[in-house]
Amino acid sequence: EQRRQLEERLVLQLRMISKGAYYWYRREQEKISNHSE
């Protein structure tokens, strides 16, 4: 039971990290495309 809770927490953290990374990646791409003339 405890291991299941641990896995769920890990999945949640991974999801949040991937979401944040994707958001950051999109922002960086927009910055790059805006800088190019």
Q: Tens-of-pLDDT digits for all 37 residues of the chain?
A: 899 999 999 999 999 999 999 999 999 999 989 877 6
CA angle 1, 7, 14 (to 5 degrees): 160
User: What are the structural domain ranges in the chain?
Assistant: 1-37
H or E segment to which residue 37 belongs: none
Q: What burial class does residue 13 get, using C-beta atoms within 10 Å of its C-beta: 0-12 exposed, 13-18 middle, 19+ buried?
A: exposed
pLDDT of amino acid 1: 86
In this prediction the pTM is 0.60
